[in-house]
Structure 1
Amino acid sequence: MTDDMTIRIDSEEYVLRQDGEGLQVGRRNGTDVAWLDTVEIELLPGPAREALDRGDMSDESLMTALRGVTQAEIERGG
């Protein structure tokens, strides 16, 4: 994955960007992106990593993993 990828989770649109061994997760705000967190890709469940490798942003396992990341950001007050 070399380019930013967009995924819609519930009613929010997020941007994913691979950065070395990490996956940056951001929220689109108009034309800008507010980066929320970077997650080690190896920490994602196998099916979510496979969906990410395929670029399948509609895969339920990837969406579930990212819901956890975004929920953690909300709970931290991000």
Structure 2
Amino acid sequence: MKVSTEGNILNSEEMALKIDNMSITGNSDVTILIGAKNAPDEEDISISKMDMDLGSSTLVIFEQLYRAYRILKNEPYHK
């Protein structure tokens, strides 16, 4: 999964659904590429249409993953 400005923007619920679908299909090896614009990928997602530095992009994607797992476990998260 590649994170870039050209990909599909996913909200927290959509990210949770995507992770859940990957686990249901047995796809447990997931690689997230951040800042690798020319890398081959199976899926291109976006956290924002705004360009960010690598540190900010990494922080935002980790926060999105945290929210997704909280949603999957039916636990509260700050919105």
TM-score scaled by length of structure 1: 0.36
Q: Is the strand fraction higher in 1 or 2?
A: 1
Please tell me whether Structure 1 or Structure 2 has the larger radius of gyration of its CA atoms: 2
Structure with higher RCO (Cα < 8 A, 6+ apart)? 2
**TM-score normalised by the chain length of structure 2:** 0.36
